[in-house]
Amino acid sequence: MPAFFEVTYRVSQPPGGIEAFAEAILLEQTFETPDEVVRRYPSLTARRGRVLSIEADGADHLVRLALPDDVASENPAQFLNAAFGNASLHRGVRFEDVEVTPAIEQMLGGPRFGVEGVRDHIGVHDRPLTCSAIKPVGLSLEELVTLCRRLAIGGIDIIKDDHYLADQARAPFRERLKACLDVTREVAARDGRTVWFVPNVTGTPDEMLRAIDSIHEEGAPAIMMAPYLSGLPTFHWLTGRAEVPVFAHPSHSSSATIAPGLVWGKLPRLFGADASIFANSGGRFALGIDEGRMIAAMVSTPIGKIRRCFSVPAGGLSLDSVADVIRFYGNDTILLVGGSLLRSNDLASATRQFVDSVASAALLVK
C-alpha cells in the first residue's frame, strides 16, 4: 500500500465543469486508463488517488489531489511524471505546489549544503551575500579574467560564469576556470576573506560529469547548472556527484505551466540546488511581487529534513533597489547584480559601492 503525496493544480476554464475535470485529471495522473477498465482489477484499488479539495480562486480553481507515491519515489524523472505528467498536456492547468512524502523526500534529498553550508564555506553569517557574473559570451579569456579581477577587488563574495559561457574557443572552459580561480584566490588571500568563482556546467550528461571532475581537480568552490536546460533529473544526478554547492540558473523555464514558487523555488531545492537564481520582481522580467514572495517562501519553508536553499534574485537589479530587495527577501539572499555593475567605467569602485550598500542595508533590516 503506497503512501500518498499531494499536488495542487490551478485550473482555468475546465471543459465540462470543475468536479468532472478534477476527476479526469486524477485519473490522468494515476492510471491514465478509463475508470471502467481500472475497476476490473481489484489490486489497483490501493493505488487509487483522490480529489482532496476544489477551491475557487478568482476565476480559477485550485484542485488538490492525493496521488500514490510509489511511482513518484522511484526516481527523479518518475517524480515529475507522477506529479505533473500528462496533466501538463491539458490546457489551462498549472502545477502550483507539491507536498512530498518521506519516500520522495529521501529519494530527492534536496541541497547537500543549503543556506547554512554555503554560509559556513564562505564565512559570512550576518548579511546577504553579493554576486555578479563575467560576461558577455564572445569576450576573450583575458577580458573575462579582467572583469573577474575587478569584481573581486571590489569586494564581492561570488563571481559566476554567464550561462552562455561553455567551452568557446576564445575562453575555453578549463583555462577560464583556472584563471578565474587564480584571480579570486589571489584577491581573497590579500584581503583575508573568501571570494568564490562559480563555473557554468553545461552539455550532455557525460560532458557535464567530465566538467565536474575538472572542477573538483581545480578545487572550485561551487558550480552553476541550468536544471531546465539539462532537465531536472539530470540536474539531480549531477548535484549528487558534485562535492560543492550548486547554483541553479533559470534559463529555458517559465511560470506559465509551473507556478513561480515551484519552478524557481521548491523544485530546484528538492532536486538539490543550494541556491536558486530567478528573475527578481520589478526587474526587466516583470515578475510580480506576489510571485517573488512565493519563491522566497518555497526556498525556505520547512520540508522534512530538506535543507533551505538560498534565493538569488537577479535580472535588472539596480544599486538603488538593494535595501528594498533585502527587506523583501530577507538576509538569506544572494543578490546577483550583473549589468548595473558592468555599466560602470570603474567596475571595482561600482562593485565596492554595491557591497557596501548590501552591508548597510543588512544592518537596517536586522
Q: Applying CB under 8 A, which of residues 50, 53, 116, 251 lies at the interface with a copy of itself?
A: 251
Q: Applying CB under 8 A, which of residues 197, 338, 355, 357 lies at the interface with a copy of itself?
A: 338
Q: Which 17-36 residues touch a copy of itself, going by CB under 8 A? A: 24, 30-34, 36
| Residue 43 found at the interface with a copy of itself (CB under 8 A) | yes
CB proximity list for 350: less than 8 A, separation 6 or greater:
154, 319, 340, 341, 343, 344
Q: Which 129-148 residues touch a copy of itself, going by CB under 8 A? A: 135-140, 143
- Region of 229 on the Ramachandran plot (φ > 0 left; ψ -120 to 50 alpha; else beta): alpha
In the numeric block, which cell numbers belong to residue 127? 548579511
Q: Which 45-64 residues touch a copy of itself, going by CB under 8 A? A: 47
| Residue 320 found at the interface with a copy of itself (CB under 8 A) | no
CB proximity list for 82: less than 8 A, separation 6 or greater:
29, 67, 68, 69, 71, 72
| Residue 233 found at the interface with a copy of itself (CB under 8 A) | yes
- In whole angstroms, how close is the CB of 223 to a copy of itself at the nearest point? 14
- In whole angstroms, how close is the CB of 85 to a copy of itself at the nearest point? 4
| Residue 256 found at the interface with a copy of itself (CB under 8 A) | yes
**What is the CB-side half-sphere exposure of residue 212 using CA atoms within 13 A?**
22
Q: Which 84-113 residues touch a copy of itself, going by CB under 8 A? A: 84-86, 88-91
- In whole angstroms, how close is the CB of 124 to a copy of itself at the nearest point? 27
Whichever of 80 and 275 has its CB closer to a copy of itself, that residue is: 80
- In whole angstroms, how close is the CB of 276 to a copy of itself at the nearest point? 13
Dihedral, 102, 103, 106, 109 alpha carbons, nearest 10:
-90
State residue 334 phi and psi, 5-degree precision.
Answer: -110, 115
- CA dihedral for 186, 187, 193, 199, sign (positive or negative): negative
Q: Applying CB under 8 A, which of residues 39, 50, 125, 343 lies at the interface with a copy of itself?
A: 343
| Residue 77 found at the interface with a copy of itself (CB under 8 A) | yes
CB proximity list for 271: less than 8 A, separation 6 or greater:
76, 108, 227, 232, 233, 235, 236, 239
Q: Applying CB under 8 A, which of residues 146, 257, 349, 360 lies at the interface with a copy of itself?
A: 257
